[in-house]
Amino acid sequence: MTAAGAPQLGYGIGWRRPIDLTVERLPGVDFVEAIAENVDPRRLFPSLRALRERGTPVVPHGVSLSLGGADRPDPARLAHLAACAQALGSPLVSEHIAFTRAGRWDAGHLIPVPRTWDTVAVVAENVRIAQDQLPVPLALENIAPLLAWPGEELTEGQFLAEIAARTGALLLVDVANLHTAHVNLGIDPHDVLRELPLERLGYVHVAGGVARDGIWHDTHTHPVPPPVLDLLTTLATRAHLPGVLLERDGAYPRDAELAAELAAIRAAAARGQSLREARDAAAEGQGPAAAAAAPGPDGGDAGGPGGRGSGAHGAAGVGAYKAGGQGAARGQAIREDAAADVPGGAGGAAALGPGGGDAGGPGGRGSGAHGAAGVGAYRTGRQGAADAGTGAGAGGSAVHAPAGDGAGAGAGADAPGVHGTGPLGPGARE
């Protein structure tokens, strides 16, 4: 079945047998996800039956369809996933864009696929075969890579977007896996989020991991680190989140600790939602000038989302993902090395790299406020500088000034970044 739209799921946790009673009684659990390969649809576990009977949605999550493999999906595995969805009354099912098998060889692990046009065609056909056999919509998940293939032709975001466009499938965006890809392969998670068709968002995964020898391992046995929560906030500034789920697969903490992790996830998503709603309200209520001054999706208002160091209200947002220094003023993104000034064009438009927008609009990362040119410190670990621009036109030239000295229509106070500095440690699992 192709997807018409994502169901509203709320906040949830992965159902696992060792914590089945915990999941049943844990406060704030709106839905759960169960590994399909661990479920017998003919004899459901009592805990799963209890959850279904009280109206808690249960999403079967597949790990072995091998949708990225050259072989077509195994009919028996597809039938099992469909039977799980029917037995649980599920609103949707999910699987990974990965391959696990080649002929009779089974890796027992989710292996990344080459991001090429040929692979897009193979995955899209496999997804369509799966959709034809499933009674509910299918959501496709990005995995946590340990390696990349040579000769790739698309970015991660382009690859996922093309598959979604060809199949009509929903997307399961795992922000922990985006963090893994950033640490292990240098893939910028903000670039991925900009390229994804977030109107196809089915739900979101959040999980913890650990760094070992410079590699980030997506273990699902460690607490969720601040950079992953920051990415959840950023995603929530860009799109409505139909559901957010915490994955935990071992080293289970006490109930109170799991409840605290869920609360932190709710708070991170709520920060992003508040910023998005404020930006949208400003754009609708006061026209283009207000939209220009409102925080962009990669920044925030007065130190907003997750402490990423954004300008105060009236200034465009600032992102400080993996920044060693403080966030500075509007019209700026701080990330890892090399800075570049971008003067505004005629009419006061400000552009900053791929995320730039007209007059600092909501689509831009670190674009300047109305009439002011953006200043970018792309990939830098040092403290950024502000921009000072002319008003609503006049060429909109920009000059460097110390942080906090920007002048433009919609100028506001600067807010320092709080923890865009968290160790971006390194992983891979899902």
Unique residue bearing structure tokens 């997506």: 218
pLDDT of residue 104: 82
Could you tell me the maximum CA-CA distance found in the chain, to the nearest angstrom? 72
pLDDT of residue 283: 87
Unique residue bearing structure tokens 């950024």: 384
pLDDT of residue 403: 35
pLDDT of residue 258: 95
- Print pLDDT tens along the chain (430 aa): 655 679 999 999 999 999 999 999 999 899 999 999 999 999 999 999 999 999 999 999 999 999 999 999 999 999 999 999 999 999 999 999 999 988 888 888 899 999 999 999 999 999 999 999 999 999 999 999 999 999 999 999 999 999 999 999 999 999 999 999 999 999 999 999 999 999 999 999 999 999 999 999 999 999 999 999 999 999 999 999 999 999 999 999 999 999 999 999 999 999 999 999 999 999 887 654 444 444 455 544 333 333 333 333 333 333 333 333 333 333 333 333 333 333 333 333 333 333 333 333 333 333 333 323 332 333 323 333 333 333 333 333 333 333 333 333 333 333 333 333 333 333 334 4
pLDDT of residue 311: 34
Calpha distance 430→259 (Å, rounded): 23
Angle between helix axes 156-167 and 117-133 (nearest 10 degrees) is 40
pLDDT of residue 3: 58
Cα atoms found within 13 Å of the Cα of residue 217, Cβ hemisphere only: 8
pLDDT of residue 284: 84
Calpha distance 124→263 (Å, rounded): 37
Structure tokens at 186: 């240098």
CB 283 within 8 A of CB 291: yes
CB 57 within 8 A of CB 90: yes
Structure tokens at 115: 């991001």
Domain ranges of the chain: 10-277, 293-421
Read off the amino acid at residue 137: P
Domain 10-277 has CATH 3.40.640.10: no
Helices (H), 249-331: 255-286, 288-293, 304-307
Q: What is the DSSP letter of 224?
A: P
pLDDT of residue 2: 58
- The angle formed by the CA atoms of residues 17, 21 and 26, to the nearest 5 degrees, is 120
Strands, E assignment, 300-371: 318-319, 332-333, 340-341
Residue 110 DSSP SS3: strand
Contacts of 403 (CB under 8 A, 6+ apart): 326, 328, 329, 383, 384, 385, 386, 414
Calpha distance 414→316 (Å, rounded): 10
HEC per residue, 383-430: CCCEEEECCCCCCCCEEEECCCCCCCCCCCCCCCCCCCCCCCCCCCCC
Structure tokens at 232: 């959840």
Nearest of 84, 55, 60 to residue 139 by alpha carbon: 60
Q: Which helix (H) or strand (E) holds 170?
A: strand 170-174
Report field, pTM of the whole predicted structure over 0.85? no
Q: Which helix (H) or strand (E) holds 86?
A: helix 75-88
CB 170 within 8 A of CB 136: no
CB 261 within 8 A of CB 30: no
Calpha distance 68→295 (Å, rounded): 38
pLDDT of residue 5: 78
Strands 105-111, 58-61: parallel, antiparallel or unpaired by DSSP? unpaired
Residue 341 DSSP SS3: strand
